[in-house]
Structure 1
């Protein structure tokens, strides 16, 4: 039964996201055991979504296998983890998975790309089209462009969807 007391909606959301994180952590621990890989699982709630990270004390060379080339394996594992959460809860999950700090490093790079594109659009007064990106990458770039005071939009069809930074 859902609590309908005024002011509890935020608490319910946090509890739901924490539950998603727990389900995801259990799923990923099983995966690490099957693959015979060492890694610790860290859970958090960031920007209204569950965030789960697999980190390692040792050189994260083993975990790089779970990241893959340019994060391709990481993306697939994130989708599988979301499906595991969906199977348990019946709700679609927006869970974000990071492995060995790959997404954190990628986020920094993408923020710089977005800021640089915003500066270029401001300087030239013309739209700046970026290379095709994943939904995660586009979101980070859109946020960086907005922080620079400009608008951006996505155009094209997956997997060739790209961000276009619009001048003021």
Structure 2
């Protein structure tokens, strides 16, 4: 398995996770801390790929103030990697949480690291941005708010960002797993969104960025 790394200035217990990665000196600047998070995550995921006998390269980046790690492969390898995604992305969500635990075990800090496997989130982002554009067009024409189907925190963040970029406001309502985005006919004024439970941008009910 090969690993490629680039950084720019979104079942195991903690004992198992901590044992998987040796401790390392704490980084100081925010940029260095995010780079460190990505490197720790890459080490953890490389070991996991070896155990699962899967091939893949690991790309590290920093996006929107969070470490971003992606496991990628060629066409044949991508098909195999989809085992780490699951039918609806549920395996990917669980793997992301395990990876965050691995990072937290080494840094001592909660992380908002975002993990993608086989381009799943990238493809989902494209679909959601198209959906947001369609909803914004309908809401702008009708002047009526529109409620979307329940989504994960990552999906809601993508929709919130897309709606804001198109000039309208949005919020989230409901409780997990039925939490959903509501697109409002109100023109955007200033910043919208707030941290959801996993650090993704969501509405003000969740406290005050994926």
Same fold (TM over 0.5): yes
* 1:87-166 → structure 2 map (5 Å cutoff): 87-166=105-184
5+ long unaligned stretches in structure 1: 1-10
5+ long unaligned stretches in structure 2: 1-27, 187-210
Number of positions where the alignment pairs a residue of Structure 1 with one of Structure 2: 158
Equivalent in the alignment of 1:41: 58
TM-score (norm 1): 0.92
Equivalent in the alignment of 2:88: 70
Instruction: Tell me, in whole angstroms, the C-alpha distance in 2 between the residues paired with 1:61 and 1:115.
Output: 30
Instruction: Tell me, in whole angstroms, the C-alpha distance in 1 between the residues paired with 2:94 and 2:177.
Output: 14
Give deviations 1:38-68, integer Å, cap 9, x for gaps: 0110101111000000001242111010010
Instruction: Tell me, in whole angstroms, the C-alpha distance in 1 between the residues paired with 2:80 and 2:69.
Output: 18
9, 12, 15: which one pairs with 2:32? 15
Q: Find the residue that maps to 1:167 and give its secondary structure.
A: strand
Give deviations 1:4-38, integer Å, cap 9, x for gaps: xxxxxxx8111000000000000000100110000
Q: Find the residue that maps to 1:93 and give its secondary structure.
A: coil
Instruction: Tell me, in whole angstroms, the C-alpha distance in 2 between the residues paired with 1:102 and 1:15.
Output: 27
CA RMSD across the alignment? 0.9
Superposed structure 1 runs of 4+ greater than 6 Å apart: none
Say which structure is richer in helix. 1
TM-score (norm 2): 0.74
Equivalent in the alignment of 1:7: none
